[in-house]
Amino acid sequence: MRIPFAILGYCRDKRDIQHAINAATDLAEHQVRRGYAPLWWRSRARYRREDHDTFPGVERINLPEEVEAMGADDCDGHAPYLAGSLRAIGHPARAIVVRAPGVGYHVIVGTRNAQGRTIIIDPSARRGMLDQPKPTVGAMNQRNLLRSRAALARAGQLVRQVESMDPSTHAARALGMEALRLIRVSQQADDAVTGTDIEVGIKHRHKRKKARRLATEAEENAALIERKARARARIAKARRAAMESEADEADEGDEDEGYEDEGYQ
């Protein structure tokens, strides 16, 4: 029995991506141990840049079984596959996320040689990454536009959720802040578009403007309500303190009257 599965979410920085790659490496080791896929060095899978047509704006991380079935994958498929294969035969290894100039994030493998020294292996380079033609301006524009469209669509969904929620809740404020972040991502992606494709990026402006206004209003309303709640809490605390002080003074007055009645002047 084979049950397809997907784990969806957002990676906001290198650390988040590293956690996702670590999980993929653990699953890759499990698949190799169970015989679902051969060891990486026995596989004939080549390097191929990821195709974002199926899932626009989504970075897909494939496990060894899927890499073997497709016959090719990019760095986030090959590196966990190699690291998992090394672990499966008892060799320490880890897939590592690094910054690559002109590329963004890249995934390589760190392991140890027979002398115990740390060595770095780039499985993507060994499977033909360096032979791949560099993406053209049109391809890069298309990728940025897809990224902008996906971020803007998600921001619109969050804004609609905020509109249907109580603005006094922390969840509404959090969703508003996330929508603003996605709007900035969309803006950055559109700013990276060059040439004649600029006109396509300009079409996103009115949607982005409306989403930004609604998200900002939701965040400001939540913040205002939160400040009012804190002010009411401070006033209530001050009133309780004043009432306690008056009660203490009244108790002291009752004690003094008792002393006078007993003749202790």
Res 205: pLDDT: 59
Res 2: pLDDT: 78
Res 68: pLDDT: 93
Backbone φ, ψ for residue 196 (5° rounding) = -70, -20
How far the first Cα of the chain sits from its last, in Å, is 95
Sole residue written with tokens 């190799």: 32
Backbone φ, ψ for residue 108 (5° rounding) = -125, -175
Closest CA relative to residue 84, chosen from 66, 65, 64: 64
| 106 three-state secondary structure | strand
Report whether 118 contacts 112 (CB < 8 A): yes
CATH class belonging to 135-265: mainly alpha
pLDDT along the chain (265 residues), means of 10: 80 88 95 94 90 72 93 93 95 88 78 87 88 59 68 74 69 74 71 50 58 68 73 83 76 56 47
Residues of the chain with CATH 1.20.120: 135-265
Report whether 57 contacts 113 (CB < 8 A): no
Task: Output the six-digit token pair for 261.
Answer: 């009645």
Res 165: pLDDT: 72
| 95 three-state secondary structure | strand
Cβ of 154: how many Cβ atoms within 10 Å?
Answer: 18
- pTM, entire model: 0.54
Q: Which helix (H) or strand (E) covers residue 105, if one does?
A: strand 104-112
